[in-house]
Amino acid sequence: MVRKVDKDAIRRWRRRGFYSETVLVKLLEKNGYNAVRVPVSNPSLSPLPDVIARKDSHVYAFEVKNAKYYAYFPRQQIEKLFRFLDELIPLENQHKHAVLAAHLGKKWIFKQIEWKDWDKDKLPEKARILKRDRGNFNLKKGS
């Protein structure tokens, strides 16, 4: 019986993530982006974001978390965003953006991580977004 409960909990957890990623894609499209959810069913070391978007000449890699009051993004997940943008997107860095997206109830908070932090190896061990935070990325402006 314990195994079934654990499997059900994992399914609910995955469904929450899938839901938030799908909602983000729709929100991005509503704001003029071309966006797609990357269907990776398990955490891996591959440098793939949860959602990829493009608006004009800019490309955005999003890591998405669904939570109630706060969301944590481990350094490894932040590094994967930069690796994806660095290795697979042939544009200048000013056109590539790594964005953390926290879906906190009905509220979205976005935090862009700067290239200078990646270049200087100064990424945080984990980034945190609280429900009361404002974020530093505006979907409407794309920055």
pLDDT in tens, 79-138: 999 999 999 999 999 999 999 999 998 999 999 999 999 999 999 999 999 999 999 998
pLDDT in tens, 30-71: 999 999 999 875 566 688 999 999 999 999 999 999 999 999
Give CATH for domain 2-130: 3.40.1350.10
Distances 89 to 20, 44, 52, 135 between C-alpha atoms, Å: 24, 20, 11, 25
Residues 41, 100, 105, CA angle at the centre, nearest 5°? 80
Q: Check if 41 is active-site.
A: yes
The pLDDT-based confidence of 1 (bands split at 50, 70, 90) is very low
Among 20, 41, 44, 46, the active-site one is 41
Return d(Cα 128, Cα 124) in angstroms, integer: 10
Total length of the chain = 143
Q: Which secondary-structure segment (H or E) carries 6?
A: helix 2-30
Task: For the chain, give every domain's residue range.
Answer: 2-130
